[in-house]
Homo-oligomer: A and B are copies of this chain.
Amino acid sequence: MKIGDLARRAGLSVHTLRYYERIGLLPRAERDGGGRRDYDAAILTWIGFLRRLKTTGMPLREMQRYAGLRRQGDGTGPERRALLEAHRETVRAQVEELQACLSVLDAKIESYRTADTAGKGTAP
C-alpha cells in the first residue's frame, strides 16, 4: 500500500504519516524500488491504537515512549502496561470531569430555556 492509500484509509494526511515516521511513532516503512514507502495493511491496527491514545489526550512524547518500548520487544511488556494503566486513570478522571461539565452545561441551557419562555433574562 502506498502512503496516499494509507492516508485515506487511516484518515490522516500523508504529511502526518511521514511526520509520525520521522518522530518514531511509526516504524520506518519499507521502500519499493523507487524509494517510496510501501505499507503492509497491518500498520492500520497500530495507527488505530495511536489514534485512541491521541484521542484520549496522550501527548506525542508519551506515545513516542510507548512506541519505543514496543520496538524494544517483549521484555518491555510490564513497562508498557504500567504506562497504559497510568494513562487509563487520567482518562477516567477526564471522563468524570467532562460529565461534571455536562451537568453544568445542562443547567445553564435550562436556565436559558426558562428565561426564554418567561419574560426576562436571568442567566449570566
Contacts and interface: CB of A to CB of B under 8 A. Distances in A.
A78 B49 CA distance: 41
Interface in A77-124: 77-78, 80-81, 84-85, 87-88, 91-92, 94-95, 97-99, 101-102, 104-106, 108-109, 112-113, 115-116, 120-121, 123-124
Contact of A84 (B52, B55, B108, B115): B108
Given A85-B109, A88-B109, A109-B88, A102 B98 contact: no
Interface of A: 45-46, 49, 52, 55-56, 70, 73-74, 77-78, 80-81, 84-85, 87-88, 91-92, 94-95, 97-99, 101-102, 104-106, 108-109, 112-113, 115-116, 120-121, 123-124
